[in-house]
Amino acid sequence: MIRSLNANPSWRHAASVACAAVSLAALASAAEPVKVGVLQSLTGTMAISEVTVKNAEILAIDEINASGGVLGRKLQPVVEDGASDPAMFSQKAQKLIQQDKVVTVFGGWTSASRKAMLPVFERFHNLLWYPVQFEGNECSPNIMYSGAQPNQQILPALDWAKEKGYKRIFLLGSDYVFPRTANLILKKHIVHDGLTVAGEEYVPLGGTDFSAVITKIRQAHPEIIFNTLNGDSNVSFFKQMAATGMPPSKLPVMSFSIAEPEAQAMGPSLVAGSYAAWNYFQTLNNALNKKFIAAYRARFGANSVVDDPMVHGYVDVLIWAAAVKKAGSLDPNAVRKAAVQLAAIDSVMGSIKFAPNQSLVQTAFVGQLDSAGMFKILWQSKQPLMPEPYDALAFPGKTCVIR
């Protein structure tokens, strides 16, 4: 479904009124801090991943405050807990906008949380910055999609596997929207590229018994597994594979949801040798990255590891601040329009900019886990990739145009 602003004329009117109101308010109270929302799961099953994203977002907000804030005003983060529950995300998003009057919100992780928040942001004409790789197929003017689109993470991994000569690919995932859609896209491309889908299996979220799946894998004789399992299921999967004599060193696994913190928590020896595709690895060698890691560790503990979604949360805040400066306004509508007009910036994760479809132009990397739980970067896309919310092969004829 293509959202066009013209289809909803009240948008423009409301936006311009809001714009005027906000600028008036800005003049009246120059010293008052600007409230921005930070909405992640601090409790529940997703807290493990989302708390660190919250930390990175707070770190960026502090850095902006240290350099003088935006439009001469300090930022004041309002942190809320989405409790790993989509309905709670929607409830808290509404609270942030209506009650706390935040000018923008950074947050969300699961697609379910984003889908639940989307109507709220559209209804109140606010702007959400979403930091996680996802399945695409969405195109809302009220969301800035900084996480990878399928063509920026999954398909580059397929290109890499093809270069490496892998021909039979087994698709394994947790049973929810990202793995299913990712695999739908992958299947089209695997067939299109003349490779073979050896099998496709889904395990209920949080599932820990892989005996049946492993039997199916053994029957299918794949050369590589593309793994979109989530959270603790990964530990069970790798353990039970190793116990049946198929560690990642024998049967390669390319994972799309295992980043540095997950690898550390699982015990690096278990997953050593397996591959992952992301738009950022902690081992990226650039000065900004070193500075970011040092700042994060100084604030949140010397042994902290950082990962792709955290970095996306961090750059989201920085780009928002840059867009506010360019627009000279806090109005969400002006900010989102300014954000896509910013020139490419050099960042922790390389050169990035927001494309007109409000998704991030970014580079894809493939890395291999070593025994310390860090990634050795093996491959990277030749240039930053344009984001494609709708895969041309799987969803022909669909495009995302945001005005």
Partner 1 sequence: MGDSAVLLGQLFNGVSVASILLLAAMGLVLSFGLMHVINMAHGEMLMVGGYLSFLTLKFVHGPAAFLACLLVAFAGAALLGALLELSVVRWLYGRPLDTLLATWGVSLILQQAARSIFGPIGVELTAPAWLNRSFSFTQGWLAGVQLPYIRVFIIVLSAAVLGSVALFIGRSQWGMLLRAVHQDREMAESLGVNTRLVDLLVFALGSGVAGLAGSALALISPVTPTVGQSFIVYAFLVTIVGGLGSLLGTALAALLVGIFSAAVQINFSLSTADVLLLLMVVALIQFRPRGLITRNSRSLSEA
Partner 2 sequence: MLKHAQFPLYALALALFAFAPELVSPYHLSLLGRFLAFAILALGLTLVWGYGGILSLGQGVFFGLGGYCLAMHLKLAALPPGEIPDFMQWSGLTQLPWFWAPFRNPYFALAALFLVPALLAAGLAWLVFHRRVGGVYFALITQALALALSTFVISQQPYTGGFNGLTDFSSFLGFTLTDPSTQRLLYWLTLAVLALAFAFCSWLVRSNFGKLLTAIRDGENRVRFLGYNPTPYKVAVFALGALLAGLAGALFTLHVGVISPALIGVVPSIEMIIWVAVGGRASLAGAVLGTLIVNFGKDWISSAMPDLWLIVMGLLFILVVTALPGGLTGLGASLRRPVPAFRFPFRFPERKPSSAPTVSIVAPEAEDLP
Should residue 39 be labelled a site residue for partner 2 when binding is judged by CB under 8 A?
no
Residue 395's binding partner out of partner 2, partner 1, none, with CB under 5 to 8 Å set by partner kind: partner 2
Should residue 175 be labelled a site residue for partner 1 when binding is judged by CB under 8 A?
yes
Distance CA 199, CA 252 (A): 15
Q: Find all residues with CB under 8 Å of 205, minimum gap 6, and list them.
A: 174, 175, 176, 230, 231, 233
Instruction: Give the per-residue contact string, 37-56, with partner 1 (x = CB under 8 A; - = no).
Output: --------x-xx--------
CA nearest to 231, candidates 280, 302, 179: 179
Minimum Å distance from CB 267 to partner 1? 5
Q: Which of 33, 68, 267, 356 binds partner 1 (CB under 8 A)?
A: 267
Should residue 202 be labelled a site residue for partner 2 when binding is judged by CB under 8 A?
yes
Q: Which of 18, 78, 242, 374 binds partner 1 (CB under 8 A)?
A: 242
Q: Which of residues 62-121 bind partner 1 (CB under 8 A)?
A: none
Should residue 87 be labelled a site residue for partner 2 when binding is judged by CB under 8 A?
yes
Q: What angle do CA 21, 27, 29 make, to 5 degrees?
A: 100
The region of 201-209, 219-227, 276-284, 374-382 touching partner 2 under the rule CB under 8 A is 201-209
Q: Which of 2, 20, 243, 378 binds partner 1 (CB under 8 A)?
A: 243
Should residue 118 be labelled a site residue for partner 2 when binding is judged by CB under 8 A?
yes
Should residue 105 be labelled a site residue for partner 2 when binding is judged by CB under 8 A?
no
Task: Look up residue 378 and give its two tokens.
Answer: 């093996």
Distance CA 292, CA 362 (A): 18
Strands 345-347 and 375-380: unpaired
CA nearest to 15, candidates 98, 139, 103, 126: 126
| Three-class secondary structure of residue 79 per DSSP | strand
Q: Which of residues 139-178 bind partner 2 (CB under 8 A)?
A: 175-177
Minimum Å distance from CB 196 to partner 2? 19
Task: Look up residue 89 and give its two tokens.
Answer: 């995300």
Q: Which of 39, 59, 70, 120 binds partner 2 (CB under 8 A)?
A: 120
Cβ(64)–Cβ(106) below 8 Å? no
Should residue 268 be labelled a site residue for partner 2 when binding is judged by CB under 8 A?
no
Minimum Å distance from CB 305 to partner 2? 23
Which DSSP symbol is given to 253? E
Minimum Å distance from CB 11 to partner 2? 11
Q: Which of 49, 181, 233, 255 binds partner 2 (CB under 8 A)?
A: 181
| Three-class secondary structure of residue 375 per DSSP | strand
Distance CA 68, CA 65 (A): 5
Distance CA 202, CA 164 (A): 26
Distance CA 155, CA 355 (A): 19
Task: Look up residue 78 and give its two tokens.
Answer: 């309002």
* CB closer to partner 2 out of 175 and 223: 175
**Amino acid present at 120:** V
Should residue 188 be labelled a site residue for partner 1 when binding is judged by CB under 8 A?
no
- Name the site residues for partner 1 (rule: CB under 8 A): 45, 47-48, 175, 201-204, 206-209, 211-213, 215-216, 218-219, 232, 235-236, 239-240, 242-245, 261, 265-267, 269-270
